[in-house]
Structure 1
Amino acid sequence: MSSPSTPRLSSAVPPALPLKHPPGVRHLPVNLFASVMGLSGLALAWRQAAGQFGAPPVIGEAIGAFALIVFGVLALAYLAKLAWHPDAVAAEFRHPVAGNFFATIVIALLLLSAVLQPYGGAVAVAVWTLGAVAAFVLSGVVMSRLLRGAIDAKLAVPAWVIPGVATLDIAVTGAQMPMPWAAELNWAAMALGTVIALVLLVLVLSRLVHHEPLVGAMVPSLLVLVGPFAVGFLAYTAMTGAVDRFASMLFYFALFIFLVLAPKVFRRDVPFAPAWWAIGFPLAALSNAALHYAAVRGGWPLQAIALALLAFLTVVLAVLTVRTLRFAIDGRLLAG
């Protein structure tokens, strides 16, 4: 059973609530929206691989369509939870750990806008605008909570970084938006996202160094720490239009962090739970960054790294999809 100092991410409910309930939409964890983040990122990576390596375009478009379907199902289910169990949603939002996973909804919207862009400019703009506004609001909420003070340092887990990454994603997906005001909004997002992500990253690293290791259910979220650097690379290159020395530093540090953390995450003794989807988007961001870096810099070693990361991401998300469907079928997905 979880304690207040180690909240249970797989259920995304406050530790004070009972952990065992009959299955139902009340227990739908908000962190499942991380699946849409990973699938959308995978779709964009395969779309890039189609132009870069000649991969069949249908792969990326099919994965993008699947991501849209998953988002639609989760959105309807979570709206039902909000309508029927607003207390459960409020408890998740106020939770010092689970509350950060509401940023997964925001990132999902921003990435889906990029998935939709080739098919409907107006729809993509509307989805991106909604995601951008939500990201700024969530950034304000996060900073307001932190400045209240008296927060237990043991609660500074990798999920804290997600809202900062969400704000950075505004620039990643909005650099090509046609509105005249989009450019300034993107730079504002770069400023807020960079500072918030770095500040929270320092707090999380301090907790990881000075306190006990994360419990099993939280271990996969370690890969979230790749996000600020991989997404930072994508945001910076999208806004500047160049892969310069600073961009190279961001990419290589993201790759380094992944190589350090991967052996700690991909272990047989880490049990599967919906919280495993937290690895999807950081891996997808790193894969997209590697593809872009290889396209600009060239050379077979960089191309090999990019293709290896894309293959690894594809296999990991396929496994997560199958295991999540099994959880849904046998009733464990919505068990309290």
Structure 2
Amino acid sequence: MQVPSMTPAFPAVPAAGGASIRNLPVNLFGAVMGLSGLALAWRLAHHSLGAPALVGEAIGAFAFGVFALVSLGYVAKLAKHPGAVHAEFHHPVAGNFFGTIVISLLLLSAVAAPYSEAAGRAIWTAGVLATFALSYVVVSRLLRGQVDASHAVPAWLIPGVATLDIAVTGAHMPMAWAPELNLLAVAVGGVLALVLFALIVNRLVHQSPLAPLMTPSLMILVAPFAVGFLAYANIVGSVDRFSGLLFYFALFMFAVIAPKVFRPSVTFSSAWWAISFPMAALVNAALKYAEFRDSLALDILAVVLLGALTVVLAVLAVRTVRIALNGKLFT
């Protein structure tokens, strides 16, 4: 079944003609999110299922390398084309993808923590400050009013999910102020995620489908519940029935959305990285829930999801390198 070809219901970010660093999309930081999440999933699988430790650590190192490379590219874009960055940040849809930068910092802090507690703490603190600042800006924009309902797309959830990730990655931070800050993060992220999820579903139900290139972003609808499971479990210090409800709804949403996203008719672009972190959050939640329930069926489910995520991100990485080398990434 073909995905209908439609014109986006919102203005595009102005692009330069031909290949240019000006066109480097901020959503490419989604690759760092996905790879970091995959590294943490393999690390969790090592502790709970005896998976090889080297796999997760190697992916974590690769995530740091990708972050450095994409950051250099985006800093070059900022230096040469500040107007393009300004337009992207203030765009009603693309601006939400700046949340991929702050989530990347939070996740990388968890990747780094076993090697250097000081580095992990510093990266996490920087991520926390940037996350709350971005959430404040995004909510302030929405409360100005007169927001076009067609702009309510899954990307809106990214700043809210970013706030939840503070608690996902900061549960074991030793600072005296960390527990209260984690509680604040879950309060802000949890309510934002629920309100924005309702607005987005209302738009998807009552208005035209997303443009084909935005189809992969549907997977973001899984994130509030998978990330919410991880954040809540960290806040309360255990997995309980409420966290189980969050996990199973995330799994249900994944089952509903996956057939809509994984279609050969959806053209590949950097926007495909939007699927990576929601899937990684679901895999981490599945591994943690399976460990709590001590169930063979849940272990098998977690392993299948981990394998699928690993294959998907490998394919995305290869295809991204290909469009970077042929210049399509910058057009």
SS in 2 for 1:136: helix
Match of 1:156 among 136, 152, 157: 152
Distance 1:311 1:251 in 2: 18
Equivalent residues in 2 for 1:289-328 (5 A)? 289-328=285-324
8 Å contact from structure 2 (residues 36, 63) kept in 1: yes
**Residue 141 of structure 2 corresponds to which residue in structure 1?**
145
SS in 2 for 1:333: helix
8 Å contact from structure 2 (residues 8, 210) kept in 1: no
Distance 2:222 2:289 in 1: 16
Equivalent residues in 2 for 1:235-274 (5 A)? 235-274=231-270
Distance 1:173 1:25 in 2: 32
**Residue 10 of structure 1 corresponds to which residue in structure 2?**
none
**Residue 30 of structure 2 corresponds to which residue in structure 1?**
34
One-letter amino acid of the counterpart of residue 20, structure 2:
G
8 Å contact from structure 1 (residues 92, 98) kept in 2: yes
Distance 1:176 1:27 in 2: 39
**Residue 88 of structure 2 corresponds to which residue in structure 1?**
92
SS in 1 for 2:194: helix
1:136 pairs with 2:107:
no
Distance 2:180 2:315 in 1: 40
8 Å contact from structure 2 (residues 170, 178) kept in 1: yes
Deviation at 1:20, TM superposition (A): 5.5
Q: Deviations over 1:92-123 (max 9, x none)?
A: 00000000000000000000000000000111
One-letter amino acid of the counterpart of residue 120, structure 1:
S
Match of 1:5 among 3, 9, 19: 9
Deviation at 1:253, TM superposition (A): 0.3
Match of 2:100 among 83, 101, 104: 104
Assess, with a 3 A threshold, how the Cα gap between structure 1 residues 3 and 91 changes in structure 2: closer, same or farther: farther
**Residue 79 of structure 2 corresponds to which residue in structure 1?**
83
Equivalent residues in 2 for 1:274-285 (5 A)? 274-285=270-281
Q: Deviations over 1:11-60 (max 9, x none)?
A: xx52xx2x561212111100000000000000000011111111110000
8 Å contact from structure 1 (residues 226, 282) kept in 2: yes
1:71 pairs with 2:67:
yes
- In structure 1, stretches of 5+ residues that fail to align are 8-12
Deviation at 1:2, TM superposition (A): 8.0
One-letter amino acid of the counterpart of residue 194, structure 2:
L
Name the TM-score, length of structure 1 as normaliser. Answer: 0.95
Distance 2:218 2:204 in 1: 10
Match of 1:231 among 227, 231, 238: 227
Misfit runs of 4+, over 2 Å: 1-4
**Residue 172 of structure 1 corresponds to which residue in structure 2?**
168
8 Å contact from structure 2 (residues 43, 53) kept in 1: yes
Match of 1:119 among 81, 91, 115: 115
Deviation at 1:221, TM superposition (A): 0.3
Deviation at 1:3, TM superposition (A): 5.2
One-letter amino acid of the counterpart of residue 292, structure 1:
K
Deviation at 1:6, TM superposition (A): 3.9
**Residue 50 of structure 1 corresponds to which residue in structure 2?**
46
Which stretch of structure 1 is more off in the superposition, 48-57 or 221-230? 48-57
Distance 2:316 2:181 in 1: 35
8 Å contact from structure 1 (residues 6, 215) kept in 2: no
Distance 1:329 1:117 in 2: 33
Distance 2:134 2:325 in 1: 33
Deviation at 1:234, TM superposition (A): 0.2
Name the TM-score, length of structure 2 as normaliser. Answer: 0.97
Deviation at 1:320, TM superposition (A): 0.1
SS in 1 for 2:228: helix
Percent identity reads 62
SS in 1 for 2:146: coil
Distance 1:58 1:23 in 2: 37
8 Å contact from structure 2 (residues 36, 107) kept in 1: yes
1:204 pairs with 2:208:
no
One-letter amino acid of the counterpart of residue 65, structure 1:
A
- In structure 2, stretches of 5+ residues that fail to align are none
**Residue 193 of structure 1 corresponds to which residue in structure 2?**
189
1:182 pairs with 2:189:
no
